[in-house]
Amino acid sequence: MALIVQKFGGTSVANPEKIKAVANRVLSCKNEGHRMVVVLSAMAGETNRLVSLANQMQAIPDPREMDVLLSTGEQATVALFAMAIKEAGYEAVSLLGDQVKIITDTMHTKARIQSIDTDLILRHLDQGRVVTVAGFQGITEDNDITTLGRGGSDTTAVALAAALAADQCEIFTDVEGVYTTDPNVCAAARKIDKISYEEMLELASLGAKVLDIRSVGFAKRYKVPLHVRSTFTNTEGTWVVEEDESMESMLVSGVTYSKNEARITVSKVPDTPGTASKIFWPISDAGIIVDMIIQNTRAGDMTDMTFTVPRTDYKKALTIVQKVAEEIGAESVTGSDNIAKISIVGVGMRNHSGIATTMFHVLAKEGINIMMISTSEIKVSCVIEEKYTELAVRALHEAFALDRAELANA
Ligand code: ADP
Ligand code: ASP
Ligand code: MG
């Protein structure tokens, strides 16, 4: 008898029929004798609907109230799911983040899980119940409801699997696994059978939303093997596991894109010690994560500073930077949220040169201008205009022969 954590995303629980189908799938595992913990997302589109309601109330919605609002999406699905299980003649219980005691920090709308109490879940499992836990939500020490950031139900599932020392953690979604790129953008995308935590971390951090980055972080830290697979088929999906020799030869294993970024430029900043710190301190103090940073030299003792922030934090960051710019005597602050970050990822890049150059060449051939570049040991990212995203993804996927495993591994 195994303890299995299964997570189903928004499209898998999009309507009552789908929730019933998920319940049947879970029950077939239970009938094999397993103890089942099921983490659910809100119904597809629900979180977006709630965000848009909030935006109609406040220019920058109050983060605490936003979390009270957003957590309702998952509350509804777990209740409906528990009803479906009961209707099928089995016992079930739905639990919210505060009932389980999924304790997080206080960073509303992107809180981090600090601890999970497994007692209540284990007690219900001991009573033979299917336990369903609302994804994406937690509670602070002061009893404020928090959410974990978009896509955060994956993180709830993996954190629960780690805390419960589950035998399996399965992430069910609307595609058959992790692909070489988003299969909904590039028809030639190929399913990857096995991928290392490290590569998956890069793919997730660079926009492959099939897994939330924090879920991969938890999986890596607590050595939870993840199986990402389809809700709608029985096909074997992708295993996210520790790196092994069979993976080392991958040069480029994936292409990702992220439309979640915005660019801010502070022009004619005095080029003196401490300026960068003055600009970035209040931004990080507000909990905003800065990704790429470019500092250009101008003639004289002036410099331009360009950087990217998550698009959801764009307005907030702009307001902060405008204030700092005035204080430090910078000339202007401009920005754009019509950008996208395109990246190529692969552990094999460590030992190869020329990968970045090939990427630049491919984008140039398509007439796509590169605004920013950043590289690390196993990835190269370029910021481009958002409207070229799909074109860039397909061209890069083709250029690195990712549709053909034998060539991608050459
Ligand atoms: P869920 O609601 O199940 O959590 P998500 O929409 O968050 O599902 O994630 C699944 C989606 O991720 C897919 O429908 C696909 O469009 C997208 N995606 C982006 N990159 C990849 C990738 N490399 N492999 C698979 N899916 C990807
Ligand atoms: N419902 C939340 C979202 O849409 C969390 C999740 O689905 O993982 O981001
Ligand atoms: Mg998701």
Domains and CATH numbers, the chain: 3-174 (3.40.1160.10), 255-408 (3.30.2130.10)
Residue with tokens 């800065």: 290
Burial class (CB in 10 A: 0-12, 13-18, 19+), 33: exposed
- Which protein residue has the closest C-alpha to ligand 2 atom 5? 151
Which residues' Cβ are closer than 6 Å to ligand 1? 9-12, 41, 151, 173-175, 178-179, 181-184, 208-210, 254
pLDDT at 247: 62
Q: How confident is the model over 5-28, as pLDDT tens digits?
A: 999 999 999 999 999 999 999 999
From the CA of 78, the nearest ligand is 2
Q: Please state, for a pLDDT cut of 90, what percent of the chain lies above it.
A: 86
Is the pTM value of this prediction over 0.85?
yes
3-class SS of residue 294: strand
Tell me the average pLDDT of the chain: 94
4 Cα: distance to centroid of ligand 1 (angstroms): 22
Beta carbons of 226 and 240 less than 8 angstroms apart: yes
265 lines ligand 2 (CB under 6 A): no
User: Could you identify the atom of ligand 1 that is nearest to the CA of residue 178?
Assistant: 24
> Residue of the nearest CA to atom 9 in ligand 2?
150
Predicted confidence at residue 410, as pLDDT, reads 45
For residues 191 and 176, give the distance between their C-alpha atoms in angstroms, rounded to a whole number: 7
pLDDT tens column, 135-162: 999 999 999 999 999 999 999 999 999 9
